[in-house]
Amino acid sequence: MCGIVGYKGKDEACDILINALKKLEYRGYDSAGIAIWHNNKIAVGRKKGKVDDLRKVISNGNFKGTMGLAHTRWATHGEPSERNAHPHRVRDVVVVHNGIIENYIELKEKLRNEGHKFASDTDTEVIPHLIISHLDKGKDFIEAVRLTLKELHGSYAVGIMREKEQIMIAARKESPLIVGVGNKEFFIASDAPAVIDRTNRFIFLEDNDMAVFRDDEMFLMNTDGEKVERKIHTVNWTGAMAEKGGYRHFMLKEIFEQPRAISETLLGRFKEEKGQVDFEELALPDLKKVKKIWMVACGTSYHACMIGKHMFEANLRIPVETDIASEFRYRNPILSENDILILVSQSGETADTIAAMKEGKRNGVYTLSICNVLGSTLARDADGVIFTHAGPEIGVASTKAFTTQISVFFMLMLHMAKKLGKMDTDEIRDMIAEIKKIPHKIQTILDHISPLEELARRYMTCKDFLYIGRGIHYPTVMEGALKLKEISYIHAEAYAAGEMKHGPIALIDENLPVVVVSPRDQTYQKTCGNIEEVLARRGRLILFTDDPSHEMADRVDAVFTVPETIYELLPILCVVPLQLIAYYIANLLGTDVDQPRNLAKSVTVE
């Protein structure tokens, strides 16, 4: 989603920037724009659509110069249109921005009171207006930018220029931005693939860093005005490797992107002081009249629906029915106009899920899609849409799409709970606080993964796996088993742990690894009983828990501990090590991790 590139050097900037934008197209976008500085003038071109459409707009010869910025936008605030496209110009200041400015409404009101007039619907436009406000108060350009950044709440990666000065400024907070260092030329980019053909030397900016490019030099400072030093990293990537950010596979990269993906999915949704999660744009039907909620999807997204069912029924007390999309319409479901039909798909183009949406529409049901692709069929045709903002997911085996879908279900549940009076303000505040901690807790897992690599080595030659869990952890282990079979081609079966006695227990012997998810929650003691059943039959048990003193820890083959959180969010933390152990086994076996045999990323046929 969204891409920033910038150039300051000795060559013509326009072609460099357009080519760089083309290399960021995988991120997804709906409009593109460019700004070129030359002799104290800035030419700006913007266009709804693709980079090639922008290229046509700027082919008039006016975009000559050796410094410039360019941008691809994925709409968050304001519809896809030329007026909302970046760069945004206010007088002689031009800005490109990724991220979300959470306090833009308050800043906009303040600026309007000072006489500023706004030309777009975006949160971004407050940035150049704030810079102008500080310039009008006598601040120099660099100081005006620094003071502006201090006023922003939320996330940003920005590139900024001013007509009157041959200076380019880049800065970041909670949104990726790198600096490329060449021979008397500098680049800024959201991701290395944009400029890897021009340089392989990069500075990875940290939160609150500002990079100032002036003359043939660059210096770094922070938003407190202090000089900072950052190491220049030399990377020996091919173009294909650069797209993977140095990771061996896209799947591993996407597993490691989950803290960022969830953070971006959460951005702009919370009004903590009011104990609210904001989904007002959905125009949901009167929730007090809703008799049933349907959740329909395929594969990994179906597992997310099963977790959503647990959340919704426990907290909203509305019946929820989950369906595999390919089965949904063939049983002639009894749909009512007072129902809500939630359709979940990473791509938004899953054929069976689209067919389920059409079935709902024929029956007058409100349809709500949860997907990751702007402009997809589900996003366009459903009555409402929530985007996961996971960014592009290239690996066929879904990872970050799954955890962002769970995050959306959690936020939607809180939104509905407030509307229905099922939770008070303090309860919702507490739950908002918990999900805001999840990205950091995932990062804690990712920082301590060596035991998972060792587990993979120990179990990689096994031909079968059994996964068990109870309650909300049953769909979690279903997802873990799916990941293993998808990419390693090892048979893996998931069962609700309480069903052990009804068949699967016959499989257990000293050769069968049994993966169990058993946090200390309301299912803890019952799951301990199921662990006893496995141990009594000499099964090789691998335990995933949030309890370092789990009473079975000393009796199982291996234990991996995740951070603690509330019951509804445990699946996000528990699935991450399950994703990783599947990845490591597949990698050791030498399978095609990113493109497993017989599978496609988007299933567009029924």
Residue 405 has pLDDT above 90, yes or no: yes
137: pLDDT confidence band, cut at 50, 70 and 90? Answer: very high
User: Average of pLDDT values for 251-262?
Assistant: 94
Question: Residue 16: its pLDDT value, please?
Answer: 95
600: pLDDT confidence band, cut at 50, 70 and 90? Answer: low
Q: How far apart are CA 343 and CA 302, in angstroms?
A: 9
Tokens of 401: 């799409």
Give yes or no: 2 in active site.
Answer: yes
604: pLDDT confidence band, cut at 50, 70 and 90? Answer: very low
Q: How far apart are CA 166 and CA 215, in angstroms?
A: 7
273: pLDDT confidence band, cut at 50, 70 and 90? Answer: confident
DSSP assigned state of 57 = H
The highest-confidence range among 195-204, 532-541, 578-587, by mean pLDDT, is 578-587
Question: Residue 420: its pLDDT value, please?
Answer: 93
Residue 605 has pLDDT above 80, yes or no: no
Name which of 18-32, 38-52, 191-205 the model is least confident about. 18-32
> What's CA 156's distance to the chain center, in Å?
15
What is the per-residue pLDDT across 414-468, written as a single tens digit (0 to 9) for each? 999 999 999 999 999 999 999 999 999 999 999 999 999 999 999 999 999 999 9
Question: Residue 150: its pLDDT value, please?
Answer: 97
Query: Higher confidence at residue 244 or residue 203?
Result: 203
Spatial contact of 73 and 79, defined as CB atoms under 8 Å apart: no
Domains of the chain with CATH codes: 3-243 (3.60.20.10), 252-442 (3.40.50.10490), 448-589 (3.40.50.10490)
Residue 602 has pLDDT above 60, yes or no: no
Name the catalytic one among 139, 361, 437, 601: 601
Question: Residue 1: its pLDDT value, please?
Answer: 53
What is the per-residue pLDDT across 389-404, written as a single tens digit (0 to 9) for each? 887 787 889 999 999 9
Spatial contact of 126 and 108, defined as CB atoms under 8 Å apart: yes
Residue 601 has pLDDT above 90, yes or no: no
Average pLDDT along the chain:
91
Give yes or no: 48 in active site.
Answer: no
Question: Residue 499: its pLDDT value, please?
Answer: 87
Spatial contact of 469 and 530, defined as CB atoms under 8 Å apart: no
Percentage of the chain exceeding pLDDT 90: 68
User: Average of pLDDT values for 104-132?
Assistant: 95
Name the catalytic one among 2, 14, 305, 371: 2
What is the per-residue pLDDT across 552-570, written as a single tens digit (0 to 9) for each? 888 999 999 999 999 999 9
Q: E strands along 190-339, which residues?
A: 201-204, 209-214, 217-222, 233-234, 270-271, 276-277, 293-297, 320-324
Residues in CB range of 493: below 8 A, 6 or more apart: 464, 465, 466, 467, 481, 504
The interaxial angle of helices 126-136 and 141-151, nearest 10 deg, is: 130
